[in-house]
Every structure is written in C-alpha cells, then in structure tokens.
Amino acid sequence: MKKNNLMFLILFLCGLTGALVVLGIFFNKTENEKQNGLSNHYDVSAQNAIAYVTYKEGRPQLFLHKEGESIDAVIAEYDEDTMILDPTFSKDGSILAFVTTNKNKETELTSTVHFYDIGKREITDVFTDSSTITEIEFKPDGSSLLYLSAGTYENYSPITGKRPHNFDVYEFNLNEKSHVRKTNLQQYSIYSLNVAPSGDRVYLGRDDDSDVKTAEASYMVKQRIFEISLDHPEEMSVISDPDREVSIFSFTITPAGNEFIFQSISNPDEGGIFEYELYKYNFDTKEEKQLTHFGEYVSDPVISADGKSIYFTLDRNFAKGSPDYHIYKMSIDGEQAEEIGLPN
C-alpha cells in the first residue's frame, strides 16, 4: 500500500512539474517581448502631423497621427528583434524617414534607413549600413541626409554594460547615393543632431572633454551643445553657455536659428531623484529661461515649423520601472501645456 502511495506521489509530482514547465514556456516572455507602449521616438511635420513609435509585445510600430482624427494610420511594423528609431520628416512634410536596427548588438551591427512617401503611402529602403545609426536629419534643401553612426559595440568602462561607441556625423547624398564622413570625433556618445537653417553646419550634444588630462577629471565633464561647420569640421566650438554647471541633454533648435530648447536637471543639489525639465537659451542675448515645471522627466523637444509651439515627452514612471511616455504640446514660452491624445 505504501509503495502504491509513493508511486502515486512520484507520478503526481512529475505531472505537476511537466505542467509547470509547459506553462512557463507558454507564458514566459523574453525581454524584447515585454517592451510595450509609446516610445520617445517621434517627430512633427510642417502640417503638424505626428509620427510616433510604439511597442506591442516587443514589436515596434510606426504610426502617423493627424490632429482631429481618432484613428491613426499604421505605417510600418517589424518583429520583436528590431527597433524603429528617430522618425524624421522632410522640410515640406512629404517624406518621413526612419531607421530600423537590430536590438541584439552582440550578433552584428546593422541599420537601414527607410523613406515613407506620405502621398503614395509607400516605403522604400534608402540604404543599409554595418553600424548603429541612431539619428537622421534632412538637409534643408533636401539634397542629402545627415546621420549619427556608431561603428563599434563595447564597454564604456569596466562597470558599465556594452553600448554603441565611436560616433561620428555622416552625410548621404540622395542623388549620388554616396556616403561621406563629415567628422572625426570618434565619441563615446553624440546625441540630438540638428542642422542649421542655412544647412552649412550642424549642432550636436556631446561631452566637453577638450581640457580633460586625467581619469579623475573625466568624471567632472559636462555635456554641452557644439557647433560644427560641415565644410570645415575642424572648426568646432561650444555654442551653449560654456559656464553652465549642469549638463545639457536632448535639445532642438528654433526655426529662426537663434535659440535652443534643451533638457537639463532642475534640482542638481537637492539629492534624491533628479528632475528633468525643459529650458530655453538664446545664444545672442545669453539669456536662459526654465519652461516646464512638472517635477518629473521631460525630454525630447520638437518645435513646430512656425516656431510657435514645442512638443515634448513626459515619462510618468521615471526611476520607477519601465518608461510611461506621453507626448505634450505647449507654447514657445512654456505656457498652456496639454497632453496630445494618441489613440494607440
């Protein structure tokens, strides 16, 4: 009798273990599949249409939203191993460019730039490169694309994980189908690529490490906005306030070309969780003004073509877990901020 009970217990435990294994396989999600919701990659056209990227069980989806319409159009969707980065409208709003790149950089570095023709509703592949392309910008005359590309994937330091490195600015001529490397910075990180209205220079964010001589000094480096001539890239200078004690992160330039809207920490000396807000800086008058006061994580400013409005993202779950992004709009002076209702 005891042998029968023991055999029954063994069979029961084996059956239960098998069932749990099957359920685990069925319900277990990879890190890629867990990615859901709105990302912070978006852009606004001259007609105030919004292109934005969301994730559904890890699959990136690119949507086009037009104010006054309750249903958004799905432009593109890819598998859970792919990311969609930096949707960017041409100056007239007729073309939407975007980047797809693989999430797993351990296997290979590859990126493809795509064009979506708004009128024809067609996607074409512009070029594919063996690198990580993070940002793209049209030249004002539409003759070429400028982009940020990282050629290696490695550790920044022994205590940090692997990330794309050796960033530089490149140009792709749309008529000649040719690539030209415009800078020789080989930076660990470059962000917020902006093209001047004149098209002859770019602005970008990076570490201001020109005076760093020791490893200890590198910990004191601030991130600032640099101006670089495309014809003479060796002519590089800090265009943001060189004496600002707090780093500048994501930013954009106004259509007039004389002001920046940028993200920075508003409470650097309080301790605890940092709060990120938007600021406006006029590099003619050298005046700075704080625009937002959410006390959370405000970032990724985009300015409307008429220069009257600022779009931005707000992460309501900053420092608590997975990001919970929402897109907002306010006046250029920081007034009347309101969330934009996106159906997806």
Tens of pLDDT along 263-285?
A: 999 999 998 899 999 999 998 99
Contact 186, 206 (CB under 8 A): no
Helix (H, G, I), strand (E, B) or coil at 210: coil
Q: How far apart are CA 123 and CA 99, in angstroms?
A: 12
Phi, psi (rounded to 5 degrees) for 162:
-70, 145
pLDDT in tens, 159-185: 556 667 689 999 999 999 999 999 999
pLDDT digits (tens, 9 = 90+) for 281-325: 998 999 999 999 999 999 999 999 999 999 999 999 999 999 999
Bridge partners (DSSP) listed for residue 154: 163
Instruction: Give per-residue pLDDT as tens, 3-35.
Output: 444 444 444 444 544 444 434 433 444 555 578
Q: Would you tell me which CATH number, out of the four given (3.30.360.10, 2.120.10.60, 3.20.20.140, 1.10.3720.10), belongs to the domain 243-344?
A: 2.120.10.60
Residues 60 and 83 sit within 8 Å (Cβ to Cβ): yes
Q: What is the pTM of this model?
A: 0.87
> Longest Cα pair distance anywhere in the chain, in angstroms?
94
